[in-house]
Amino acid sequence: MYCVSAEFQNDLPLKGQRILVTREEGPDHSLSESLIQLGAEVHIHPLISIQPPDSWDSFDQQINHINQIDWLVFTSRNGVIFTFQRLAELNLSNEIFQSLRIACIGPATAEALLQEGLETDLIPSIYQSEGLVQEFQKMKPDGLCFWLVQAEAPRSILQKELIKMNAEVVTSTVYCNRMPQMDFSPLLELIRLKKLDWIVFASASAVKNLCSIIPQEWGKTWSSNLKVACLGEITKNAAMEQGLNVEVMNLKNLIPSKLNSKKFPGLQKNPLNIPTS
Confidence of residue 246 (pLDDT cuts 50, 70, 90): very high
The torsion of the CA quartet 257, 260, 265, 268, rounded to 10 degrees, works out to 10
- In a 13 Å sphere around the CA of 184, the CA atoms on its Cβ side amount to 17
Amino acid residing at 4: V
Give the tens place of pLDDT for each residue, 168-198.
Answer: 999 999 999 899 989 999 999 999 999 999 9
Give the tens place of pLDDT for each residue, 39-79.
Answer: 899 999 999 999 999 999 999 999 999 999 999 999 999 99
**DSSP 8-state class, residue 98:** T
The closest alpha carbon to 162, from 188, 187, 143, belongs to: 143
The torsion of the CA quartet 190, 192, 197, 202, rounded to 10 degrees, works out to 70
**DSSP 8-state class, residue 46:** -
Above 50 in pLDDT, residue 159? yes
**Residue 96 CB coordination number (10 Å):** 12
pTM over 0.85: no
Give the tens place of pLDDT for each residue, 89-132.
Answer: 999 999 999 999 999 999 989 999 999 999 999 999 999 899 99
Angle at 176 between CA 170 and CA 182, to 5 degrees: 175
Amino acid residing at 186: P
Domains belonging to the chain, first-starting first, are 2-48+180-254 (3.40.50.10090), 51-176 (3.40.50.10090)
- Taking only Cα atoms into account, the Rg of the chain, rounded to an integer number of angstroms, comes to 20
Confidence of residue 220 (pLDDT cuts 50, 70, 90): confident
Whole-angstrom distance, CA of residue 141 vs CA of residue 172: 20
Could you give the percent of the chain with pLDDT greater than 90?
Answer: 68
The torsion of the CA quartet 56, 61, 63, 65, rounded to 10 degrees, works out to -170
- Cα 161 off chain centre by: 22
